[in-house]
Amino acid sequence: MAQREKSEASVFPGTRNSAAAVLESIADGVFTVDLDWNVTSFNRAAEEITGVEKSQALGKKCWEVLRASVCESACVLRKTMDTGRPIVNEPVYIVRSDGRRIPISVSTALLLDDDGEVVGGAETFRDLSVEEELRRELKRRYSFEDMISKHHRLLEVFDTLPDIAESGSTVLITGESGTGKELMARAIHNLSPRSDGPLVIVNCGALPDTLLESELFGHKAGAFTDAKRDRAGRFALAKGGTVFLDEIGDVSPALQSRLLRVLQDGTYEPLGSTRTERTDARVIAATNRDIASMVETGEFRNDLYYRINVITIDIPPLRERREDIPLLVDHFVARFNRLKGKDVTSVSPDAMEILMRHDYPGNVRELENAIEHAFAMSRGRVIRAEHLPQRILPDDVREGERPESFAEAEAAFLRRALEQHDWNRAATARDLGIHKTTLWRKMKRLDIAEPGG
């Protein structure tokens, strides 16, 4: 029986040359290791998926080449070598040499010589990037990679996000339109013990008052003209999960008092009903308005404000964290490559300079749209200035004055920032939202020195 399992797990015993030719031509990555985990063969697809050339991979330990999430704790090849049983389509991820996380599925087999002796193992793997991107789009299940920032305030938020998520407290997320408030709410929900429960999103600014009330709390048949049958509200649908109330600053005073009651004791009555319902849903609220000022002017209830303002996360606008723009551009390029089946490899220096200079009244969403626009306009592998939307092109971009590389654009940007602060590095770093040692390292790398300093 054990011998049969070994045979099932073996790869082309005794057919070396033809098997090797086939392996070179297939789209799945394939590599083999000897009994000391040294890579002994590495096909062309493996080179493409990992970003490691065959000549560099051969003779190296497999974990140095593949760099998979399971190498350390649950190596699939080791399991096969130990048990003799193949593993089929195990989902893991690898880290490419450019820092990209690539989801793959791996399968393993024993490697036998002509006498049936085990001489190593074989692993095949398939790039699942496109499938995962589509799944993420469908389920909108965002992760760490989607929340990219080097801004000090956001880094502090990221540090505490797991604790915020686990606390179960009501959270108020503030920030301009397009900064990613919903993304933050999703991250909190996904990190929380309620992640298996639903996340129900309600845009309070999009519905008239009575409709919003029915939407939130539900109604009984006959409660109003069109109410033909009973309908559960969003709070009922969010049982065991989270309700995300977007644009909460737009809620009318009457509805504010009903929301206050939900937040105070978790109870409400559906429209047309006298029976009190209970909800256990967690509430995350968001607004792009200055609610503190609305409290002062009486537009927003003081007591509701204090109920939703238990934990506040303020997301800075993109113009205040320009250092994040190259990271975000890279992220969106990778995402649209996967979604649109393209192979854009870079953004030209002049296009990047324009992207760095723009003020982004629409914030991250505007940047994302600009990259999507460029994808539609570009036919090649490089996004150039002419592919960007007209609205973000500055008036003062003149031929001959453009820096030749991104490094020069970054250097020019940092010099301007340092000059604005009389070359005070601490103040400049604070203003840019980066650590002062990061600024110092950038200055060293870009050879920026204070004039006469």
| Residues 143-162, interacting with other proteins (CB under 8 A) | 144-145, 148-152, 155, 158-162
Using rule CB under 8 A, residue 120 touches other proteins: yes
> Smallest distance, Å, CB 92 to other proteins?
9
CB neighbours of 342 closer than 8 A, spacing ≥ 6? 336, 375
> Smallest distance, Å, CB 243 to other proteins?
23
CB neighbours of 38 closer than 8 A, spacing ≥ 6? 59, 60, 61, 62
Using rule CB under 8 A, residue 438 touches other proteins: yes
Using rule CB under 8 A, residue 423 touches other proteins: no
Helix, strand, or coil (residue 336): helix
Residue pair 167/207 in contact by the 8 Å Cβ criterion: no
Using rule CB under 8 A, residue 102 touches other proteins: yes
| Residues 16-45, interacting with other proteins (CB under 8 A) | 16-17, 19-21, 23-27, 32, 40-41, 44-45
> Smallest distance, Å, CB 296 to other proteins?
35
| Residues 266-305, interacting with other proteins (CB under 8 A) | none
Using rule CB under 8 A, residue 259 touches other proteins: no
> Smallest distance, Å, CB 150 to other proteins?
3
Among 36, 98, 196, 395, binds other proteins (CB under 8 A): 98
> Smallest distance, Å, CB 112 to other proteins?
9
- Tell me the window of 9-17, 192-200, 223-231, 355-363 that interacts with other proteins (CB under 8 A): 9-17
Using rule CB under 8 A, residue 330 touches other proteins: yes
* Exposure letters 229-239 (e unless 16+ CB within 10 A, then b): eebebbbbebe
The DSSP 8-state label assigned to residue 88 in this structure reads -
Question: CB atoms < 10 A from the CB of 198, how many?
Answer: 16
- Tell me the window of 238-246, 251-259, 297-305, 326-334 that interacts with other proteins (CB under 8 A): 326-334
Q: Which is nearer to other proteins, 54 or 365 (CB)?
A: 54
Q: Which is nearer to other proteins, 8 or 64 (CB)?
A: 64
Using rule CB under 8 A, residue 224 touches other proteins: no
Residue pair 317/363 in contact by the 8 Å Cβ criterion: yes
CA distance 122 to 13: 12
| Residues 345-404, interacting with other proteins (CB under 8 A) | 345-346
| Residues 185-204, interacting with other proteins (CB under 8 A) | 191
Residue pair 224/264 in contact by the 8 Å Cβ criterion: no
Bridge-based pairing of strands 242-246 and 282-287 is parallel
> Smallest distance, Å, CB 258 to other proteins?
35
Using rule CB under 8 A, residue 91 touches other proteins: no
Q: Minimal CA–CA distance to 282: which of 205, 349, 197, 218?
A: 197
Radius of gyration of the CA atoms of the chain, in A: 28
- Tell me the window of 200-208, 252-260, 271-279, 430-438 that interacts with other proteins (CB under 8 A): 430-438
| Residues 61-90, interacting with other proteins (CB under 8 A) | 61, 63-65, 67-73
Residue pair 146/109 in contact by the 8 Å Cβ criterion: no
Using rule CB under 8 A, residue 137 touches other proteins: no
CA distance 38 to 211: 65
Residue pair 409/397 in contact by the 8 Å Cβ criterion: no
74, 75, 90, 127 from 87: Cα distances, Å: 12, 11, 7, 17
Q: Which is nearer to other proteins, 27 or 232 (CB)?
A: 27
